Amino acid sequence: MGSLSVNQNKLQKRLRRLAGEAVSDFNMIEEGDKVMVCLSGGKDSYTMLDVLLHLQKVAPIKFEIVAVNMDQKQPGFPEHVLPAYLESIGVQYHIIEKDTYSVVKDKIPEGKTTCSLCSRLRRGTLYTYADEIGATKMALGHHRDDIVETFFLNMFYGGTLKAMPPKLLSDDGRNVVIRPLAYCSEADIEAYSVLKEFPIIPCNLCGSQENLQRQVVKEMLQQLADRNLFDFTSLRIDDTATPRFVDLMNL
């Protein structure tokens, strides 16, 4: 990749600035932290690692970064891709081998979405591993859109007002989870991922099925700001409208 165009440079700066603001606002990373960056091989986690490596260079504090990927024993998973990428950028990494694929396939009936069980199993294994390697923070790649979608998912389908916090303490109090991309948009991450040519590994655990309820919420949120459905462009003040406040002096 050569030098960045003006727009590409703006995109990179925006992602770095927003991640820096989130880290600062929620005091996500402190002096001497060992940050375990959880990599899935998707656009979000690659972008998170990229911005955290930049932050590590420019931040006034010193902290360590270790990348971790969980090989879930999915058939056809290209095991060499992440190690090759991490070695090329000189990042320390660990691959955890854990056959969650068989567990998920065993527990979930054919055709049902597997995402929630899969992520719970993955999270539990990562918590334990963070503890083992003495990581003080565990960084996940959820972005602003994930956080908003999860809020509506919980409200519509779970009947609770619950969101993904940008920083949280695990139930047993032994892990602090951080989401450095909490202020970043999915569209920016998508564009940055294409620009940087990250070696994306698609999730084929469930035939790449998007969690169906999440997809419904995603489409609903997109429709709320769809310029084809509503003429935002020509929205103007109506000079003929009656003022809201009556001028008492001229009555």
- Tell me how crowded residue 237 is: count the other CB atoms within 10 A of its CB: 6
Higher pLDDT, 169 or 221: 169
Amino acid at 15: L
Q: Which residue's entry shows tokens 């940050």?
A: 35
Cα–Cα distance for residue pair 137/69, rounded to 1 Å: 15
Residue 209 belongs to domain with CATH number: 3.40.50.620
φ/ψ of 90, rounded to 5, equals: 70, 40
Containing 150, the helix (H) or strand (E) segment is helix 144-153
Rg (CA), the chain: 22
| In the chain, % of residues over pLDDT 90 | 51
3-state secondary structure 38-67: EECCCHHHHHHHHHHHHHHHHCCCCCEEEE
The residue written with tokens 């569209």 in the block is 187
Mean pLDDT of 192-197: 96
Q: What pLDDT was estimated at residue 208?
A: 42
pLDDT confidence of residue 191: 97
| Integer Cα distance of 186 and 146 in angstroms | 8
Determine the Cα angle at 130 with ends 124 and 134, to 5°: 150
How far apart (Å, rounded) are the C-alpha atoms in residues 62 and 58? 10
With a CB cutoff of 8 Å and minimum separation 6, the contacts of 220 are 152
Question: In this structure, is residue 172 part of a structural domain?
Answer: yes
pLDDT at 25 over 60: yes
At residue 19, φ and ψ (nearest 5 deg) are: -65, -40
Q: What is the pLDDT of residue 13?
A: 97
How many structural domains is the chain composed of? Answer: 1
Select from 50, 39, 22 the least CA-distant residue to 167: 22
With cut-offs at 50, 70 and 90, classify the pLDDT of residue 184: very high
* pLDDT of 133: 95
Helices (H), 59-136: 81-89, 100-107, 115-132
Is 243 inside any structural domain? no
Q: Kindly state whether residue 90 falls inside one of the protein's structural domains.
A: yes
Residue with tokens 């695990």: 170
Asked whether residue 229 is domain-assigned, the answer is no
How many helices (H) and strands (E) in the chain?
8, 6
Beta strands 64-71 and 34-39, pairing class: parallel
Cβ distance 4 to 12 under 8 Å? yes
Residue 244 lies in a domain: no
Mean pLDDT of 17-39: 97
CB-based contact 138:169 (threshold 8 Å): no
pLDDT digits (tens, 9 = 90+) for 64-108: 999 999 887 777 788 899 999 999 999 999 998 876 666 766 666
What is the pLDDT confidence band of residue 188, given thresholds at 50, 70 and 90?
A: very high
Q: Which of 65, 66, 99, 93 is nearest to 80 (CA)?
A: 93
Domain that holds residue 158: 6-224
What does the pLDDT read at residue 100?
A: 66
Overall average pLDDT of the 140-157 stretch: 87
The rounded distance, in Å, linking the Cα atoms of 240 and 251 is 20
| DSSP assigned state of 3 | P
Does 239 reside within a domain?
no
- Judge whether 103 lies within some domain: yes
Residue 205 has pLDDT above 60, yes or no: no
Q: In this structure, is residue 234 part of a structural domain?
A: no
